[in-house]
Structures are given as C-alpha cells and as structure tokens.
Amino acid sequence: MGSRTVHNQNVSQRIVFAARKTCPLDQADNVACYASPQSTLSRYVHGPETDKIQDQEKPSYLKFREHYIDTGLIMGEVGAVKQLFEKALEIIKSNPQATDLTVFAQIFGEQEYHREVLRDLYTTPLGRLFAQFRWFLGFEQPGLLETHPTHQRVQPIEGVPLEFGIGLDYEGMLAQSTLTVKVDSAWLRYNDTKHISDVKTKLQANGKPKAIQSDIMQSLPPFWSPNGAKEDGFPQDLDWGNVPLYTNLDTGIVPAAIRLDSSTERAKNVLQSGWTSMWYHPEARRLMDLYVNEPYKAFAVLKHGSEEMAWWSRYEQKWATARRQGQPDKDWVPWKDMCEGFDEELFKDGKGLWKPPRNDY
C-alpha cells in the first residue's frame, strides 16, 4: 500500500483473525471473496500442487494457501475490537440470518476494497506502469477497481467507517486449524533429525523445518520453575528441541494453539492423539500439583508509566470454583464433583483420582 498512504489515511493492523483456504460465502462475485488479499505464504508453499484442486469429482482444497478470513481466532486491541463488534451488530440487526463468519467476511472485504481505493489514490504514474508490467507477466492479479461485469461494488457512505485495522494470520503463527492436520502438520522433536526426515517422507511434505522459532528458543525451558526443575521433580535436561512440538511442515511454524474443527474426522483424531502428544502431558498431574502449591498471585499486571494495575482471581481455592456468581464463599464445587470420571482421560497415568496435594489452605 505504501508508507505515505498508511500514514496519511491512518491504516494499521490492530485486530488479527485466523485465515482459511476458501471463501465463507462461496460467492466469487461478493466483495468478501474477490477483495480478500493474496496470501503472504509462498506461491509454492505446498509444492507444485499449491492452490490446485486435488480431486475434480470430490474437490479438495487442502493444498490451497490460507487466503480468507476465519473466525476461529480473533485477537486485538480492546478499543478496535469493540468498534468492530458494534459494526457487526449493526449488520446482524438488518440481517438476522447472517452468521458471525459471513458478517466479518463482509466487513473485511469492504475494508480491503476501501484500502485498494486509497492505494490507487496514492499510486504514482510510474507505479501504475510497474503494476501493469507485473500483471502482464503474471505476477500480479488485475486490480480490484478494474471494470468487472459481475463483481459487487462497494459504495462508501459518508461518516460510515470502512477501516477496522483487520489483518489475517496467514502463516498460522497464532493457531493452526485441524482442517489441514493430516496434510502438513506433525509432532516434531527438533533435535532428532532422522525423525523429522521420516515424518516428512511419510506425509510428503515440501517444507524444510530447520530450527525452532526464535521466540520459543528465547523462552524459559519447558519445565522451568522458581524452585528449579530438579527440586520440583521435573526433567532437568530437556530444552525445547527435546520435546514434541506441533509443527506445520510446509511453513516450519510452531503455532501457539491448535484449533479443533469438531465437525471433521481429523479434529477427532487430533483430540484423541494430540492431547497425549503435548510436551507437558507426561507431567500433567505433577504440574497440577505445582500450580495448586504456588503462592496466590495476580494473573495479569498492566503497567503505564509509574502506575500499575493488577487483576486478581476472586477465588483463593484453586481446585474448586464458585457455583453462584457473586457468592464465591457460599457454594463451592470441588474438583471431584466437577471433574470426577475425567481424571484418567486428563492424566492417562493410571493413578486414579486427582487430590489436592495440601489441605492446610
């Protein structure tokens, strides 16, 4: 878009949505579909079959790059998200049959159309010539503003904002969807190069995961604790290269979260096998004990200059929760009542019910 446009028109990214491979509206002429920007992933991230339908009789889009908005994850500044939700509410009031996905897709499409108008406004003659040259060579698609017989146009209304600061998580750095789990994702131990090679061969992955992401490597070791891993009974010699990390083999990204799409068989498989593959699962019961034994402390602290604001839990008893809101000391539901029967499903260690490690709180 250009720095001058961004600065002069106050264009920014303040909200991040998940990304998906197909348009939510399934209407190529709708602004929610045709105005969605091209993916930032490499054109051949999934190999030569990237962006090609795999089966004409049963169309499969698994090799497509993430391209469109998805509501599986929304993260952003409070003020920006509030403004976005207010806009979404206006649309739903006028169209009660709309879903959250179609509403946000419409808002995002209109934003991108508006951004294209701004980009065109600030494009120099030399820039237009260069864009035409790239289009002629096939490196760039025709502009959104080019005359098209069926595309839905966006008619701006004075005083109605179209810029909401929305961007998409194309690379899946925040969350990886289970829709693609069988195609390009697996649990990797980065210090075991043979294992990585075998997994890639089995899944016919095209990427080359070489090293763990820097943000992970710079974080504390997996079983670090204030008392020391040895003191708390955790493995001492494990770094991030020695524990299984869920990795997109084509991009090399280890996402912060895994999004389960409960409507798919893949999601069910991940739910069954993925939980026990998590690096912390073998120590889940001990970690639960450690959490309960930790001192009562703030769970979030916001600093602004010399001022500080802290948020504390309303409940001091960590292994129970209040049944009635506003009366935390009147009606407590202990762990055994709330989670009884799920202990083995959670811990899978054959040790039976979980009990608080201390009873002197």
Which is more confident, 210 or 87?
Answer: 87
Residues found in the chain: 361
Whole-number CA gyration radius for the chain: 25
Which contiguous run of DSSP H or E holds residue 75?
strand 68-76
Q: Taking 70 as the threshold, does the pLDDT of residue 284 lie above it?
A: yes
Q: What is the pLDDT of residue 361?
A: 42
Closest CA to 186 of 240, 238, 252: 252
Domains of the chain by residue range: 3-168, 178-347
Q: Look up residue 149 and give its two tokens.
A: 């017989």
- pLDDT confidence bin for 89, thresholds 50/70/90: very high
Mean pLDDT of 217-228: 81
Residue 303 pLDDT level (bands cut at 50, 70, 90): confident
User: Percent of the chain having pLDDT more than 90?
Assistant: 25
Taking residues 288-307, what's their average pLDDT? 81
Contacts within 8 Å (CB) and 24+ apart, 310-315: none
- Nearest-angstrom CA–CA distance, 147 and 155: 15
DSSP label at residue 253: B
Q: How confident is the model over 320-341, as a mean pLDDT? A: 66
Q: CA-CA distance, 245 to 192, in Å (whole number)? A: 12
Residue-wise burial string across 288-309, b where 16 or more C-beta atoms lie within 10 A, e elsewhere: bbbebeeeeeeeeeeeeeeeee
Contacts of 15 (CB under 8 A, 6+ apart): 74, 75, 76, 77, 80, 81, 84, 164, 165, 166, 167
Rounded to the nearest 5 degrees, what angle is found at the Cα of 142, between the Cα atoms of 141 and 147?
A: 155
Q: Determine the Cα angle at 292 with ends 288 and 293, to 5°.
A: 115
In single-letter form, the type of residue at position 3 comes to: S
DSSP code of residue 320? E
User: Over the stretch 235-256, which tens digit does the pLDDT of each residue have?
Assistant: 777 899 999 999 988 888 999 9
Question: For residue 350, how many other CB atoms are within 10 A of its CB?
Answer: 6
Confidence of residue 336 (pLDDT cuts 50, 70, 90): confident
pLDDT score recorded for residue 183: 61
Kindly state the tokens that stand for 72: 């599986």
What pLDDT score was predicted for residue 324? 58
- How many other β-carbons are positioned within 10 Å of the β-carbon of residue 119? 20
In this structure, are residues 205 and 184 in contact, taking their beta carbons and an 8 Å threshold?
yes
Q: What is the pLDDT of residues 172-218, one digit of tens each?
A: 999 888 765 556 788 999 999 898 888 888 877 777 777 888 889 88
Q: Is 61:24 a contact under the CB 8 Å cutoff? A: no
How sure is the predictor about 126, in pLDDT bands with cuts at 50, 70 and 90? low
DSSP 37: P
Res 299 pLDDT > 80: no
Return the bridge partners of 304, or none: 307
Would you say residue 160 has pLDDT above 50? yes
Higher pLDDT, 353 or 129: 353
CB distance 9 to 74 below 8 Å: no
Q: How many CB atoms lie within 10 A of CB 352?
A: 9
Provide the percentage of residues in the chain whose pLDDT is more than 70. Answer: 75
pLDDT averaged over the chain? 81
Read off φ and ψ for residue 102, nearest 5 degrees: -70, -35
Q: Comparing 26 with 134, which gets the higher pLDDT?
A: 26
Determine how β-strand 68-76 pairs with β-strand 15-20. antiparallel
What pLDDT, on a 0 to 100 scale, did the predictor assign at position 314? 66
Please spell the DSSP secondary structure of 130-173, one letter per residue.
HHHHHHHHTSSPPPTTS--SSPPP----TT------EEEETT-S
pLDDT of residue 333: 74
Q: How many CA atoms lie within 13 A of 227 on its CB side?
A: 10
- CB of 208 closer than 8 Å to CB of 248: no
**pLDDT over 60 (residue 269):** yes
Q: What is the pLDDT of residue 100?
A: 94
